[in-house]
A and B are shown apart, each in its own frame.
Chain A
Amino acid sequence: MTEGCGINRSFWSRRAVLAGLSGVLAASVSTASATSTATESRPPAARRFRIYMVVFRGWTDTDRGFKDYLDANRVPVELIVRDAKGDKGALAGIAAEIIREKPDLVYTWGTTASVEILGPYDSTDPKRYVTAVPSVFANVSNPVDARLTPNLNGSGRNIAGSTYLAPLDAQLKALRSFRPAQRLGVIYSADERNSLDVVAALRLLTAGAGMSLIERPIQPSRDDAAKRASLPRLVAEVSGEKADFLYIPPDSFLSAHGKLLTSAAIEAKLPTFAAAEGTLTGSDALMGLVSRYYNIGKLTGSLAERILVKGEKPGTMPVTSLSRYSLILNIRVALAIGIYPPMRLLKISEVIE
């Protein structure tokens, strides 16, 4: 419907006289339909939409943005929050509860929680995963690789959602606007699919830009302490290879232990670029190009509204992302490593002091 409208508009815009007219028409039609559906399908005051919010590491900015959007748009909801507290094992129980309770909508935060609650698209077991309830996911860096949806144009199943990563080439461009890096280092978990995918894409991009990529995978191990201990060594290796920059992919392990990684980098006077906002705010990375989690939450809230209020089918809704990203710069890190940002970059950055 919106799609059709768009085509109509661009068609008419060729005839400017009519464009204004059709714009008015389109606007009035869409407002009319919005209000009518809102009044018709809005439940009586007593009836509220029940939404199960499954979060993985406590209440975050994303969740706040989701709630704020629904409140601001007067969608009557009852939120039931379930926090896995970082425990993947707890998620099966939460899924079972949701299947039993049959709420109006499910919201899942992060790749792990989303996959454990909603299941991969090619092996959905209605007894194990939530399939009958419409769902939205947020903070999933790559929903296709996570097998939540076969492609980004629509899941074809009962779920919709949003992604939050800035396009990799835009990230690389931002990175090189800080300093014209020729040698890029990357440290990542060798057992995390997300990271492997990003590194593979990074290989292509750096090769295309005539840069060299210095890869240092963290060897998989059941022993987290050993993995943690390897971080300063890996940073030293990257630095020893004369890298201009260290790239930190959206990696769960590194998100949890970013501080360790970034303080080693600061010691080596190595600038760091983080893909995820969590790494930027939770550690001492120098910079990143990210979607603000709060805005991602609001975007996901709008998906929930379209499903609940306007009755759209989640399976036909494309996976959305924000069109504008924030360049975040940690000025303390810049001062600590003694490499100052160029004025142009500083001018457009959100600075963490």
Chain B
Amino acid sequence: MKMNEALSPARPPTAKDNLSRTLLVRLFGLTLLLLLTALGVFSYFAINVFEREILPEIHKKAALVGYVVRNDVLRAVRFGLPFDGLVGMDGLLDDALSDNHDIRYILVTGHDGKVLYAGGTGGSAAARLIGELPPSAFHPTPAQSGEARTVRLSGFFDTSVPVVVDAVPVVVDAVPVVFDNAVPAVFDNAVRGVIHIGVDGDFVRRRLTAIAYDILTVLLVTLLVAFEFLFNVVMVYVAGPIRRIEELLRKGAAGDLSWRTQDTGGDEVGRFARVFNALIRRINEAYQEVRQDAKEAQAAQIEASGVARIQAALADLDRKFRLGAAGLQEMANPNALLRIRIPFFLFILAEELTRPFLPVFIRSLHQPDLGLTPQMTVGLPISAFMLSIALITPWAAVWTERFGVRKVFLIGAVPSVAGFIGSALAGSVLDLLVWRSLCGIGYAIAYIACQSYVAENSHAKNRVSAMAFIMGAVFTAAICGPAIGGILADRVGFAPTFAISGCLVLLASVMISRFLAVDSSSTPPLATAARPGRSGSSVARMLFRNPRFLALCVLTAVPAKIILTGVLFYLVPLYLTELGDSQSSIGRVMMVYGLMNVTIMPLIARVANRLTNLPHLVGIGAIVSGIGAMSVLAANNTWLVLAAVTAVGVGHALSIAPQLVLAQIVCERADPTISRTAALGAFRLIERFGNIIGPFLVAVLLSAFGYSWAMAFTGALVALGGALFLIFMALDSTGSVKEAVP
């Protein structure tokens, strides 16, 4: 969706030399080191605290469950029911177990240590071991029943397990598999039996692992965001100005001394720039003085040869040096792109935050009175978002031309903020439809405004790399967003996370209004290349007169979008929730999609730039993503979903950028009058159709076949499309595309 003309790796547009790079690398290394150290120390303490504080809490909770069961049993005994003849203990124990997932088993033994009632799993092994011990090991005399006792059992799940009397746990082994907390049931001064609560050691370990993952995610995201900001600060305030002065010095070395640089800012760089400007000014003034002197000397000269000599000397000076006779020129600021990168990053990040929980959130609002299945209901707001993007995009381009980037970006922030705040407060799916559509409108406007800005601030020559540079922000957001969004959703809830998204958009618009104030409003909007608003009939003509274009769209582009919105945005979060994953881990799984794009796309760009194998990349990408999605059929677990997401990420990294290039080439070949941008516009329009139908298609499949089959069917569809496309291109006069390439 946002893999635009990213055919070359994300580089700053004017990175000719290594100055900023080395500085940046050093700064980044230092930041990395500091952050890693801080986070390492923090994590170490966090995990320590967890083990010290949380573990006893878990045991306390287990003991509490033991007390509840004991009280229920003793109440029955007090009514005169026999301790060993209670009815329906299974139900009672099941209730206790279903409320406490960290408890593996509950056993109730009689006064002789024999197990009377058992619930949960693994109880029989525990029962055998408990049976080997004298009953007195678990219950001392009633008077002592409050006293903690530790009994060491060996061979229990191949490890030794501390057995604790009266629920005061003492950890004997570092990582036991099960903690047995024993609560004696004392009635009429006699121990009638013991309630054993088996706490799952694995559960504790899983909790620890989950926290470690969260910390790692935060680490990764912190690094990415830190780099994003660091990069900008260094480029805007240090490397950029110095590079400009360096360029002026080079000009100066070549004799051109007519340029000054911007010298705003009171920091070292600003002072440096001022000194440089003073120097230039001094030289120019000196030159003017020399010229003036020469003029006077010339006027005073009677001898013609003297005049000629002075004129020759001046001409020589003018030949060797170019000086600002008519005042100094100011060096244009080449860092315009940087000004929009962070606001744009924040804007995209706001939307990406919602990815891991949006479907789950929508499902929680589902009301049957709409007459829709829950699956359809979940699809609606996702599609509404995509639909409003598709509808608004052509208009957004028109508005940008009319009002300028800054204004349009700020206008786009209004529906976005309203959409996010509304989503946070939404009480029904109908409300949410409206709010999500507003978010879509804002997203489309910001996206187009940003694209136009890049077009305004780049030349035809470097436009692709400029676009790639901005897309870098999108990729970073696609990695950070789901990961952070998941953690936020887990910790503070869905509604506050929407609110945070709203705040990010606000922040982005504040930055836009400050950073773009001068550049954009003073610059008349250039006629940008991206002029959409193509009529439907011309798109249809392109499609149906050009079988290659048709094949590309129908067999690869639309399926790719279906798998993106249907599988990644809709199915994956719901499926993972079904598998019991937390929002944080859903976010981490979804993050991998962005990660794959960032790591693989630059490699592909290098290959694709040679433009010899585009159809193969497109077809293979589709097959990889499709077959990857089918992998969930093997088993229902998170790792396979992760594998599927990875495959979709790899597949898209392989195919999306080549798709775009191919679309332009096949259109140009079929009809040279169609411009590349027109072809691209038509292609985008058709793609967006896939975005909209993806959730619906998957909803239908989901209602009929369940999660793994719905995902597999969609995958099969995509893979089949890819295969057919490869066959089509092979049959269609092999190499025609190669020839087309200049």
In the bound complex, do residue A16 and residue B75 qualify as a contact, i.e. CB atoms below 8 Å apart? no
Q: CB of A17 within 8 A of chain B?
A: yes
In the bound complex, do residue B72 and residue A14 qualify as a contact, i.e. CB atoms below 8 Å apart? no
Contacts of A335 in B (CB 8 A): 79-81
Q: Which residue of B lies closest to A18 (CB)?
A: B425
Q: CB of A226 within 8 A of chain B?
A: no
In the bound complex, do residue B91 and residue A344 qualify as a contact, i.e. CB atoms below 8 Å apart? yes
Q: CB of B87 within 8 A of chain A?
A: yes
Alpha-carbon separation in the docked complex, A353 to B428 (Å): 50
From B91, B428, B431, give the contact of A343 (CB < 8 A).
Answer: B91
In the bound complex, do residue B88 and residue A343 qualify as a contact, i.e. CB atoms below 8 Å apart? yes
Alpha-carbon separation in the docked complex, A91 to B237 (Å): 99
Closest beta carbon of chain B to A18's beta carbon, Å: 9
Closest beta carbon of chain A to B498's beta carbon, Å: 12
From B76, B88, B91, B427, give the contact of A15 (CB < 8 A).
Answer: B427
Alpha-carbon separation in the docked complex, A105 to B79 (Å): 45
Q: Which residue of A lies closest to B495 (CB)?
A: A16
In the bound complex, do residue B76 and residue A346 qualify as a contact, i.e. CB atoms below 8 Å apart? yes
Q: Which residue of A lies closest to B80 (CB)?
A: A335
Q: Tell me the residues in window 140-183 of chain A with beta carbons closer than 8 Å to chain B beta carbons.
A: none
Contacts of B428 in A (CB 8 A): 14
In the bound complex, do residue B79 and residue A343 qualify as a contact, i.e. CB atoms below 8 Å apart? no
In the bound complex, do residue B87 and residue A342 qualify as a contact, i.e. CB atoms below 8 Å apart? yes
Q: Which residue of B lies closest to A332 (CB)?
A: B80
Give the contact-size bracket for chain B: 10 to 19
Alpha-carbon separation in the docked complex, A341 to B80 (Å): 12
Q: CB of A331 within 8 A of chain B?
A: yes
Contacts of A340 in B (CB 8 A): 76, 81, 85-87
Q: CB of B95 within 8 A of chain A?
A: yes
Closest beta carbon of chain B to A291's beta carbon, Å: 24
Contacts of A14 in B (CB 8 A): 427-428, 431
Q: CB of B92 within 8 A of chain A?
A: yes
Alpha-carbon separation in the docked complex, A166 to B174 (Å): 55
In the bound complex, do residue B425 and residue A343 qualify as a contact, i.e. CB atoms below 8 Å apart? no
Contacts of A341 in B (CB 8 A): 87-88
In the bound complex, do residue A344 and residue B95 qualify as a contact, i.e. CB atoms below 8 Å apart? yes
In the bound complex, do residue A345 and residue B88 qualify as a contact, i.e. CB atoms below 8 Å apart? yes
Contacts of A13 in B (CB 8 A): 427
Known contacts A351-B79, A353-B79; decide if A343 and B427 are in contact (CB<8 Å). no
Q: CB of A47 within 8 A of chain B?
A: no
Q: CB of A127 within 8 A of chain B?
A: no
Closest beta carbon of chain A to B502's beta carbon, Å: 13
Alpha-carbon separation in the docked complex, A15 to B425 (Å): 6
Alpha-carbon separation in the docked complex, A328 to B425 (Å): 43
In the bound complex, do residue A344 and residue B92 qualify as a contact, i.e. CB atoms below 8 Å apart? yes
Known contacts A341-B87, A343-B87; decide if A331 and B92 are in contact (CB<8 Å). no
Closest beta carbon of chain B to A329's beta carbon, Å: 9
In the bound complex, do residue B80 and residue A343 qualify as a contact, i.e. CB atoms below 8 Å apart? no
Known contacts A14-B427, A340-B85; decide if A347 and B92 are in contact (CB<8 Å). yes
What mask results when residues 313 to 353 of chain A are scored 1 for a CB within 8 Å of chain B, else 0? 00000000000000000010001000011111111000101
Q: CB of B89 within 8 A of chain A?
A: yes
Closest beta carbon of chain B to A300's beta carbon, Å: 33
In the bound complex, do residue A343 and residue B85 qualify as a contact, i.e. CB atoms below 8 Å apart? no
Q: Which residue of B lies closest to A340 (CB)?
A: B87
Alpha-carbon separation in the docked complex, A9 to B704 (Å): 38
Contacts of B76 in A (CB 8 A): 340, 343, 346
Q: Which residue of A lies closest to B68 (CB)?
A: A347
Q: Which residue of B lies closest to A10 (CB)?
A: B427
What mask results when residues 92 to 123 of chain B are scored 1 for a CB within 8 Å of chain A, else 0? 10010000000000000000000000000000
In the bound complex, do residue B425 and residue A17 qualify as a contact, i.e. CB atoms below 8 Å apart? yes
Contacts of B80 in A (CB 8 A): 331, 335
Q: Tell me the residues in window 399-441 of chain B with beta carbons closer than 8 Å to chain A beta carbons.
A: 425, 427-428, 431
In the bound complex, do residue B431 and residue A344 qualify as a contact, i.e. CB atoms below 8 Å apart? no
Closest beta carbon of chain A to B504's beta carbon, Å: 20
From B72, B81, B431, give the contact of A347 (CB < 8 A).
Answer: B72
Alpha-carbon separation in the docked complex, A351 to B79 (Å): 9
Q: Tell me the residues in window 281-295 of chain B with beta carbons closer than 8 Å to chain A beta carbons.
A: none
Contacts of B75 in A (CB 8 A): 346
Alpha-carbon separation in the docked complex, A351 to B72 (Å): 13
Q: Which residue of A lies closest to B91 (CB)?
A: A344
Q: Which residue of B lies closest to A12 (CB)?
A: B427
Q: Which residue of A lies closest to B85 (CB)?
A: A340
Contacts of A342 in B (CB 8 A): 87-88, 91
Closest beta carbon of chain A to B73's beta carbon, Å: 8
Contacts of A331 in B (CB 8 A): 79-81
Contacts of A353 in B (CB 8 A): 79
Alpha-carbon separation in the docked complex, A17 to B426 (Å): 10
Of A15, A331, A344, most B-chain CB atoms within 10 Å: A344
Closest beta carbon of chain A to B331's beta carbon, Å: 51
From A15, A17, A343, A345, give the contact of B89 (CB < 8 A).
Answer: A343
Alpha-carbon separation in the docked complex, A13 to B428 (Å): 10
Q: Tell me the residues in window 15-60 of chain A with beta carbons closer than 8 Å to chain B beta carbons.
A: 15-17
Contacts of A351 in B (CB 8 A): 79
* Given A341-B88, A347-B92, 16 further pairs, Cβ under 8 A: A14-B428, A14-B431, A335-B79, A340-B81, A340-B85, A340-B86, A342-B88, A342-B91, A343-B76, A343-B86, A343-B87, A343-B91, A344-B92, A345-B88, A346-B75, A347-B72
The 10 listed contacts between A and B (C-beta, < 8 Å) are A15-B427, A331-B80, A335-B81, A340-B87, A343-B72, A343-B91, A343-B92, A344-B91, A346-B76, A353-B79
Cβ-closest 10 pairs across A and B:
A342-B88, A14-B427, A343-B92, A344-B91, A331-B79, A16-B425, A340-B87, A343-B88, A342-B87, A335-B80
Interface residues of B (CB under 8 A from A): 72-73, 75-76, 79-81, 85-89, 91-92, 95, 425, 427-428, 431
